[in-house]
Structure 1
Amino acid sequence: MEFDLIARHFTRATPGAVLGVGDDCALLAPTPGMQLAVSTDMLLEGRHFSPADSPAGLGHKSLAVNLSDLAAMGATPRWATLAIALPEENDAWLNAFARGFFRMADLHGLELVGGDTSRGTLTISITVMGEVPPGQALRRDGAQTGDDVWVSGMLGSAALALAYRQGRLFMEQIDAAKVLPALYLPMPRIALGEALRGLASSAIDISDGLLGDLGHILKRSRVGATLEFSALPTLPVAQAYLHEAVARDCVLAGGDDYELCFTAPPGRRDAVQAAAAAAGVAVSRIGRITAEPGLNVLDADGQPLPIAHTGYDHFAA
């Protein structure tokens, strides 16, 4: 029975909610004076993950990719709802999925307050809710000419892992083992997003590829950007493969990084570095915002790199 399944795997105490799982609706009381940030993401078997993927890892990743949207807005996680379609009831799979899900939830103080289950192709849809002080949310429309462009963490690792798994890029097995965790166990940059309130002029999380996601900032802010490929942060193991076009494409447009890309005035460089250090996350300055529209990536000689595509297309075949 649906309700027995929910009770066994997804019902826990929710002291931060007025009423959690078990009724027709959850009842929530946001902190007085705070604004709610709300985001929904969907993951489909065969499109976003493989049937062979670990259910615990899938529980982790399905929530992490949603939390990354809150991080991009500088919001503090509070609550989530989970809707999941399953081809059949499988307690062992659900127990592992819930373990990965709640491990990530507990790490960020988030409570599961409702959702739905049904029979069907394995599909996971999560809505997350967070809080942010009025006027302090990080948005996509604030980049200004002359701003620095920054990214957190390392780029391209998850896309390199996927390219290796799909046979599009040969990697030594010992090298592949160093990038595979980025694909299966991404970590949302919640603490960094909170620390960037009042510092970043715009922000977005890198889910579909650096160029495509930065392009959303440029479009909303009505500006352009120039990036330096040599400044893009990658794991040392990845650098051995960047002579191949597919590897460069993974760094520029591969997606699944779940790092933050953000802009800030040059006068705030020290403050940005201090905020990142306080959050325990490395950040790299990779370019600048320009008044001229368009997005250019320069090689070590200052020449434009050819760009095959800018990011993941959710409706591509």
Structure 2
Amino acid sequence: MSNKISDLGESWLLKFIIDRISKIEDSILIPGDDAFDFICHGRIICSGDMLVEHTDIPPGMTLRQAGRKAIVAVISDLAAKGAHPRYIVTQLGLRRDMMIDEFIELWTGLEDACNEYRVKIVGGDTNESNELVISVFGIGFSEKPIPRTGARPGDIVATTGQFGTTYTGLHALFNSITDKKWDRLRQSVLYPRAKLSEGITIARLGLATSSIDSSDGLAASLQQLSQASNVGFMIDKLPIDPLAAEYAYRYGLDVFDAVMFGGEEYELVVTLPESAIDKVNAELSKIGSRLIPIGTTTEKKELNVAWQGSIRKVISGGWEHFTSKGLDRKRIISDSLNRATTHQK
């Protein structure tokens, strides 16, 4: 198709979407009604997230990948609470000059994520916007949601994976570094994965004292847990991805920054008693996963990290909208490339 969505109008968009929405089992309302209904089974867990074109879609990311990513972000939030995701509501802000083919590609990405995580889009809205905006609201269920508020001094803090891939992957994308050696780093940005099975498993065991997803970066996630639980952290084993570290050394990036301030890794950061780590990992091993202990929870409410023979006190966080305190990803990766003038792509 070569038409723009403005040639066909919102009525065409709504029909396209409604034709692809499945009726919820046992629901009274049909797709396209003013609202949707469902029968509750357990405690309802809800989360929302928004993807905005100029801040969240880097060079090289297709519309299909962007659509998928928007839903993955919400699934990751639900995973951090140990929820089984069930339904998705999408609000789309679309440019009037968007091509029909582009819209279909975007919708295909939304469907990709729904199929991957076994959720259904049950409703939403469309509107005209100056840039692409994808707002996603997720609904799930859990009998044992894990809060941010339960961490206790002496707990182990652990993650479901290593860090640094998205920071270095963004650098590669913004600077058109295409060496296949770094494919996994770029893919961490273009095709993120939520740790849903891990979150559900951890919640089912009932041993974690707090949990958060790392979409804002490791430092920010730890600081948010610190605020919620009124504790601090001593991180003595940074979860550094070896390939990310190699990339950082090659292109003059700071490995510490790459690990602490990347964002959108969609790993889980959890606290739990030291006595529980082996039991949790025994269960996680059944799904090919594990928790990586990175430090301990402290009474003093500050974030300290052991790094290269000294202790760094981390004050600033990771990505934060509306303020210069947040990590300016474009500026940092551009500046770092300029510093690495002797390196070759």
- Give the TM-score of the pair, scaled to structure 1: 0.90
In the alignment, structure 1 residue 28 sits paired with structure 2 residue 38: yes
What is residue 140 of structure 1 aligned with on the other side? Answer: 148
What is residue 280 of structure 1 aligned with on the other side? Answer: 288
- The secondary structure found in structure 2 opposite 1:127 is strand
Amino acid in the other structure paired with 1:23: D
What is residue 312 of structure 2 aligned with on the other side? Answer: 305
Query: Alignment RMSD, CA only?
Result: 2.1
Q: Which moved more, 1:279-288 or 1:72-81?
A: 279-288
Do the aligned partners of residues 253 and 3 (structure 1) sit closer, same or farther apart at CA in structure 2, a change above 3 Å counting?
Answer: same
**Pairs within 5 Å for 1:211-226:** 211-226=219-234
Do the aligned partners of residues 212 and 12 (structure 1) sit closer, same or farther apart at CA in structure 2, a change above 3 Å counting?
Answer: same
- Residues 188-235 of structure 1 show CA distances to partners (whole Å, capped at 9, x for unaligned) of 111111111102110000011101111111111111110024x4141x
Task: Indicate which of 174, 181, 184 corresponds to 2:180.
Answer: 174
**Pairs within 5 Å for 1:281-296:** 281-296=289-304
What is residue 253 of structure 1 aligned with on the other side? Answer: 261
Counting aligned pairs with the same residue, the percent is: 27
* Shift of residue 264, structure 1, vs aligned partner: 0.6
Cα distance in 2 between the residues matched to 1:85 and 1:76: 27
More helix by share: 2
Q: Which moved more, 1:277-286 or 1:150-159?
A: 277-286
Q: Which moved more, 1:10-19 or 1:212-221?
A: 10-19
**Pairs within 5 Å for 1:1-317:** 1-9=9-17, 11-16=20-25, 18=27, 19-31=29-41, 34-50=42-58, 53-88=61-96, 89-120=98-129, 121-133=131-143, 136-167=144-175, 173-197=179-203, 198-229=206-237, 231-234=238-241, 236-243=242-249, 244=252, 246-301=254-309, 303-305=310-312, 307=314, 309-316=316-323
* Shift of residue 109, structure 1, vs aligned partner: 1.8
Do the aligned partners of residues 51 and 211 (structure 1) sit closer, same or farther apart at CA in structure 2, a change above 3 Å counting?
Answer: closer
| Higher radius of gyration, 1 or 2 | 2
Q: Which moved more, 1:215-224 or 1:9-18?
A: 9-18
* Shift of residue 122, structure 1, vs aligned partner: 1.1
* Shift of residue 107, structure 1, vs aligned partner: 2.0
* Shift of residue 93, structure 1, vs aligned partner: 1.2
Do the aligned partners of residues 16 and 249 (structure 1) sit closer, same or farther apart at CA in structure 2, a change above 3 Å counting?
Answer: farther
Cα distance in 1 between the residues matched to 2:108 and 2:180: 28
- The secondary structure found in structure 1 opposite 2:72 is helix
Amino acid in the other structure paired with 1:27: D
* Shift of residue 171, structure 1, vs aligned partner: 6.5
- Residues 4-53 of structure 1 show CA distances to partners (whole Å, capped at 9, x for unaligned) of 2132245322344613531111112121xx11111111111111114763
CA contact (8 A) 1:192 1:275 kept: no
- The secondary structure found in structure 2 opposite 1:40 is strand
Q: What is the number of residues matched between the two proteins?
A: 308
CA contact (8 A) 1:38 1:129 kept: yes
Cα distance in 2 between the residues matched to 1:110 and 1:138: 21
- Residues 254-298 of structure 1 show CA distances to partners (whole Å, capped at 9, x for unaligned) of 111110000110000111212322333232110000111101000
Question: Structure 2, unaligned stretches of length 5 or more?
Answer: 1-8, 325-345
